[in-house]
A and B are shown apart, each in its own frame.
Chain A
Amino acid sequence: MSDVTAVVSAEAQELGDGRTLSNRELLRALLRKPQFVLCSLILLGFFAMAAFPKLFTSADPRFCELGKSRQGRSDGHPFGFDIQGCDYFANVVYGARPSVLVSICASFGVFVLAGTFGLLAGYFPGAIDAVISRTADVLFSIPGLVVLIVILNSVPNRSIWIIVGVILLIGWPGGMRLMRATVFSVRNREYVLAAKSIGVPPVRILRKHVFPNAMAPLLAMTTLGIGGMVGLEAALTFLGVGLQPPSISWGSQFGVAASYRDTPHLFVWPALFISTMTISFMIIGDSIRDALDPKLMR
């Protein structure tokens, strides 16, 4: 996760000086890219799967026949059965929900938190910047995964929202630093100074002048990072500090598959689904980054 953050922030840094595109211009630029359209359709499929799993499978993921444990595919059961003899296709389909929820909510939340803190820290140097930046230093100086595991391990009943909450708690410093750096380069631009000189209140300056001109790098970083959130949720659940049974999720399916190496289909299907999802998110993020990049605009 840290790798993606580092690379993305480097690649996104230059977006700070970019033209701000109107939403419609951005959308039009994006719709011209076939890979963006394809990946959006795939993701829409996953969203539908998360919202209405019954559209995709009529089988009940919790209806199990132990006798069919780990059997391969058969009629009406394209993915075969898991160790308890439940229909695996239904289980994989139902597993989309936590991944979609955690990744979207956590990414959006991190965007809001990092954006707000970054704006404040960048625009009000001094006490506010010191408090925010030092807190980020502390969070940065210890592996995020360790803190996640320690905190989640101490929560007895973990729901999706608790996982999202803990990710938010420690996930904002990277984006905050990026936003702060961009705000630094924007805050002394002529249009900001002009607004200041005619007495526009700071909050309005931040909202109307600084934020729209400084958000592109953070936006690109966030969209490129959504896939990482999917993987993070799965990893936490796999390590046993994420969602608990009876929740169905791809992470817990990996956990089971790890102990049954002779039954590859237990691993292959959730792996295929999760990778398709993360790659789609990544390609969409990449397209958005390209669309925001002033050097690529002609």
Chain B
Amino acid sequence: MTATGEVLLKVDNLTVEFDTPRGPVRAVDGVSWQVRAGETLAILGESGSGKSVSTQALTGILEMPPGRIVSGTAEYRGADLIAMTTKERRKIVGDRITMVFQDSLSALNPVQSVGTQIAECYRVHRGLSKKDALKRAAEMLDQVRIPAAAKRARDYPHEFSGGMRQRVMLAMALALDPDVLIADEPTTALDVTVQAQILELIAELQAERDMGVVLITHDLGVVSDVADNVVVMYAGHVVERASTAAALDHPVHPYTEGLLGSMPSADLKGQELPTIPGTPPSLRSIPSGCAFRPRCPIAIEECAHDVPPLLTVAPGRDAACIRRTTLAEKEAV
């Protein structure tokens, strides 16, 4: 755990709602986390848990309306991204904080060459001439290990393979040497081998630049491979926050526990893989109290009363479960 660098991005009590014809739906509810220079923070959760929405909201790329930020702050080096004007935010998002998305084929403009798309960053944020920007773009492609980078800069997104395209996305995101990289399921659409290469590349480039990385994923394997700290989300709430090692060894929240238990491993060969019973709730009808309650093996009546607060269960560890308010209590149950 390298929690020593400067805090770059600090999200506090962020709540996001969507207006739908059937009334507002709360997709993110009181979420807080922070990422330091050099740190990799994983946000882990199933689809619909609000993990992508929270980052899209703070970077201002969420469609608003129907999306709406109800409350919360997201401070980049002390400046609140949510409170500032769009114009001010554009100086930070895209320059100091950049993003990589999951589906690189649809996330790249199909009618522009990849070189032009990377060069656009230099043109807009650095005011470089077209020629210089294109040259820098080619260098960037080389840095993400795309062979014959200068030539390939003239190619279009559909002419690259999935892994290569994700490298292009990375080159674009890292072009301006950002402080924070938000990677939204960057490897989900890729083969396992390519996945490993991309994660390795991100780690390498991160070490070079002392950059903070926010890795949004639903893949526990990815988390255990690269993340320093992990934030587990369920139905819009943070249910557990810990260093990756601690969370994997001693999960506190029953949801994290369930996720870990359902991970296939060599020890479990021949046995039936345990799963979490039930399905994640629809955001329209989140159960009262603890949202995980209907699927939880240790739920009691009190769980239905209030939304469990995120409590510090041990130094550097938080969990939102009224049955387990300390590490010791967990061992006892």
Direct contact of A and B (CB under 8 A): yes
* Interface set of A (CB-CB < 8 Å, partner B): 298
Residues of A within 8 A of B20 (CB): 298
Which chain B residues lie closer than 8 Å to A298 at the CB level? 20-22
Chain A interface helix/strand/loop/mixed: loop
B282 to chain A, nearest CB (A): 14
Contact with A along B163-187 (1 / 0, CB 8 A): 0000000000000000000000000
Closest residue of A by beta carbon distance from B21: A298
A-B contact count (CB 8 A): 3
Contacts of B21 in A (CB 8 A): 298
Which B60-99 residues sit within 8 Å CB-CB of chain A?
A: none
Rounded to whole Å, the gap between the CB of B23 and the closest CB of chain A is 12
Provide a sorted-by-A list of 3 A–B residue pairs whose CB atoms are within 8 angstroms: A298-B20, A298-B21, A298-B22
Q: Give CA–CA (A298, B25) in the complex, Å.
A: 14
Q: With CB as the reference atom, state the residue of chain B lying closest to A298.
A: B21
List residues of B (16-61) whose CB comes within 8 Å of A's CBs: 20-22
How many of B's residues come within 8 Å of A, CB to CB? 3
- Tell me, rounded to whole Å, the shortest Cβ–Cβ distance linking B65 to chain A: 15
Interface residues of B in 127-151 (CB under 8 A from A): none
Contact surface of B with A, Cβ cutoff 8 Å: 20-22
Bound Cα distance from A298 to B19, whole angstroms:
13
3 closest A-B pairs by beta carbon, nearest first, are A298-B21, A298-B20, A298-B22
Question: Who on chain A is nearest to B20 by CB?
Answer: A298
CB A75 to nearest CB in B, in angstroms, measures: 53
Shortest beta-carbon distance from B310 to chain A in Å: 33
The CA of A120 and the CA of B146, in the complex, are separated in Å by 45
Q: B59 → chain A, closest Cβ, in Å?
A: 25
Contacts of B22 in A (CB 8 A): 298
Question: Roughly how many angstroms separate A298 CA and B22 CA in the complex, as a whole number?
Answer: 9
Nearest CB of chain A from residue B231's CB, rounded to whole Å? 32
CA distance A298 to B21 in the complex (A): 8
Min distance, Cβ A153 to any Cβ of chain B, angstroms = 47
Q: Roughly how many angstroms separate A79 CA and B255 CA in the complex, as a whole number?
A: 78
B19 to chain A, nearest CB (A): 12
Closest to B22 in A: A298
Nearest Cβ in chain B — how far from A243, in angstroms? Answer: 48
B24 to chain A, nearest CB (A): 14
A124-B136 Cα distance, complex, nearest whole Å: 51
Instruction: Give the shortest distance, in Å, between A128 (CB) and chain B (any CB).
Output: 31
Minimum C-beta distance from A244 to chain B (A): 54
Measured in the bound complex, the distance between the Cα atoms of B20 and A298 in whole Å is 9
How many angstroms between the C-alpha atoms of A111 and B20 in the bound complex? 36
Q: How far is the CB of B266 from chain A (nearest CB, A)?
A: 33
The minimal Cβ–Cβ distance linking A296 to chain B, given in whole angstroms, is 11
A298 CA to B66 CA in the complex, in Å? 14
Q: How far is the CB of B152 from chain A (nearest CB, A)?
A: 31
The CA of A284 and the CA of B86, in the complex, are separated in Å by 42
CB distance from A188 to the nearest CB of B (A): 19
Q: Smallest Cβ distance from B322 to chain A, in angstroms?
A: 36
